[in-house]
Chains A and B, each alone.
Chain A
């Protein structure tokens, strides 16, 4: 479990979350459910409340539609070189798409899980995929041909998220009721299990559990991971719970931080990303249909900066160092920039003339 020794270029000094503003918007006619950007910052892919994946070229704004799933797509990931897209749907199907063709084609399609496949992740070296789902399993696949390599059983409830560690041969998974497992994919055995009980709740009135990791990401240096979800469930059937992003220490598995939103914000944290300069970005949806972007440092649980959004936020991914994209519930994929807005070119005031 040694953290990665990374050699990184310095982050551009101009990146500052307080400057966050929208620089582009991409529209789809159905509400978006999830989103990912390719590592080169060229492409943006999103699932929606339909059976398709939308693929936008961020340079040309060209939109392509990937058809083939028979249920909503709930997780999308690009390969490291951006030549492939991996998608997982509520029907439990995992697909790999060849993005080198003008119209992306399905390379393989497998029934990854019985019941929903809630997640697809890519290993740091790009060779493996991890999925998890409602059959209580976590599975590793050969990214090249979609062949099944390993199955991890042990979760007692639906598994919401699973992610590879950046350097160690381990992955972490989290289920509906906060069960977290660290799996060693060299030995095929779980190395550690604990319950993140702050991220789940039982609704006594309606007799149902709520929780799960809605997004799960490692700090690129491997020293911590973050899980986005909920806490303080009071009435989950009405959306009355608080969003929460928990930062876990990789060595001890103890929570380092419990990042929360403003006190009156009721909803779900749907996205989390580590920025290389050290801050953490969160995205969430309020029960009233609006959303928020939260920016945290490691010294406090409260955000040091918050951006209110007029639409619920359902997914988040970085585009390079200075931008990130957010999937919104009204069908918009918004691209936000974290540097100062370019000054508007000064134009001569126009004078209306009577004709």
Chain B
């Protein structure tokens, strides 16, 4: 079973999701001076010959840790469907999210935190685990607020709580023998997740240090990045951080100025810290979105949804650093070289952490390939 082998590897995933559809032209694939290039300039990065938008000066100095894929054609312009394609690696169907797959195969029974933790302030409570079971579902943290009820009720001490839990199990076991295992597993998973979080409640205690706040910033996204660092340091397997505010049908340039300025520094500090702690070799770092934005600029200075030719960034965990995969044409209106879709990315992400995506899920009696059989990994990114 590849799960047993992978759990020994200690690989983990940091996923930064720029919700709304970040503009590739204002980030990873700038086209200054062209018809649809917008007002911003391109700046050199720490990789010779690689330029990104001037809105990302801190990230630019760290691109030697990262690679850009500039040739995504996901053919989807709808927020939810685009997000689902990125997360599931398949354009349709009820499949588990990337983080739930990571939870199943990278986090073992001995994991001390839930396998898939999502830091966000908005969004639906998706059924991210699909058929993998509730123990691999996303645990949503509402920003840096600790989950509710981490403390035992006042009248309970740990010994009494353990007795209570034992009693629950005694009642559950005969009940479970006569009913659906899946439903009861979900029920039991909720207790186990709560137990893990209560045992590690100190993670959520205390304030960020002045030094960290100075480096990362004091706004919400900076604090989410600091929490992500803490979680990864404490054994989390997949941490997703969502940064909202890229759906700029109007005022695209002013809003990208604001949002990417907020993203750039804390993300760069988090990357530095993973590197400095020796964690980058074992942490896959992704910056993704549900789609890009139209090259054409509308009369509101906005860009609309665009799944036809956009970009994403990844690095760490053995991903070849400093590479540019694929290209768009001169005006950014279509993919000109090495077209890929979200299925290719899904394979690439999971193969980077060591999972054989052509294998089937560990599900007794079912035959479901982990990755979309119609896609494959971007081999040149994987060493």
Contacts and interface: CB of A to CB of B under 8 A. Distances in A.
A312 interface: yes
A72 B39 CA distance: 5
Given A31-B297, A51-B33, A72-B39, A210 B20 contact: no
Contacts of A209: 258
B41 A312 contact: no
Interface string B241-282: 000110111110111011100000000000000000000000
Q: Is the interface of B mostly helix, strand, loop or mixed?
A: loop
Interface in A35-68: 49-51
Interface in B27-82: 32-33, 35, 38-41, 54
Contact of B32 (A71, A207, A236, A289): A71
Interface string A229-245: 00000001111000000
Contact of A90 (B39, B121, B248): B39
A238 B299 contact: no
A207 B220 contact: yes
A84 to B, nearest CB: 24
A285 interface: yes
B298 A289 contact: yes
A67 to B, nearest CB: 11
Contacts of A311: 299
A219 B252 CA distance: 32
A237 B255 contact: yes
A91 interface: yes
Interface string A190-234: 000000000000010111111010000000000000000000000
Contacts, number: 83
Interface in A115-147: 115-116, 134
A91 B299 CA distance: 21
A239 B300 contact: yes
B39 A238 contact: no
A76 interface: no
A217 B96 CA distance: 57
Interface-centre pick from B32, B38, B299 (highest chain A CB count, 10 A)? B299
A27 interface: no
B39 A74 contact: yes
B343 interface: no
A70 B39 CA distance: 9
A267 B251 CA distance: 11
Given A158-B257, A208-B258, A237 B39 contact: no
A207 B242 CA distance: 12
B115 interface: no
Interface of A: 30-31, 49-51, 70-72, 74, 89-91, 115-116, 134, 158, 203, 205-210, 212, 236-239, 267, 285, 287, 289, 311-312, 329
Given A90-B40, A237-B250, 14 more contacts: A71-B39, A90-B253, A115-B257, A158-B257, A203-B245, A206-B244, A208-B245, A209-B258, A236-B255, A237-B255, A237-B302, A239-B249, A287-B300, A289-B298
